[in-house]
Amino acid sequence: MVNPVIRISIRLPKPLPRHLKDGQVTRLLAVIQEVRDRAMFMLMLRCGLRVQEVADLTVDAVDYPRRQIFVSQGKGNKDRVVYMSEDARLALLAYLAKRSAKGKRLFLVQKGMMKGQPLSVRGIQKRMESYARKSKLNVSCHRLRHTMATQLLNADADLATIQDLLGHGQITTTQRYCWVANLKVQRGYYKAMEVVLQRTQDRGDDEDEEEREFPDPKKLLPNEQRNFP
């Protein structure tokens, strides 16, 4: 006989993404001294860009005065606008001040035979692998993007805002992306529970007061019942 169980496949859930803690972010940035690399990884950490989006980024896609970046044809061929924090903007300006080669793409190879050519996705990933070894952290380009999402959520940004910034097509993707270490939920619970407990206590006090002011007439003595309103 053929065992019917053999043909059954179980789809296991994908492992949840991890994020860097604040101290780990500081440790990582401390070893990234090269201005081009610091600018690249700040765009992932502060703007939530994917590694492919960083590799495809053009010089004219960045609006420095408005601190905006136009991401053209991101995942799913979707365009979106993301915003730069001040430290990300300064990192980009520091890189541009030393960027000698001309080219449409923003991030270029700086040494060797390929100097001046666009930096590839694999080239960016290899730089991150080097900094991961130096900082002794388990970190990747994707983990920087997830760190940005988690930090925003814990700073009370709503899911719809994070969804737009990350370029997620479905809010469920953002929910899965952000639920780990969701301090916002924890804070919200304790804050709301304090209100619940306070109201419960206040109501209990009020009921006790009412019972003292208006005792049950059936429990009064006959002479006391005559004086009860």
Catalytic residue among 38, 127, 168, 184: 168
Catalytic residue among 36, 46, 127, 177: 177
Question: What is the spatial distance between Cα 121 and Cα 57, in angstroms, rounded to a whole number?
Answer: 11
Catalytic residue among 50, 89, 143, 146: 50
Annotated active-site residue 177? The verdict is yes
Residue found under tokens 């370029």: 167
Catalytic residue among 75, 80, 105, 176: 75
Annotated active-site residue 218? The verdict is no
Annotated active-site residue 168? The verdict is yes
Annotated active-site residue 142? The verdict is yes
Annotated active-site residue 145? The verdict is yes
Catalytic residues, which ones? Answer: 50, 75, 142, 145, 168, 177
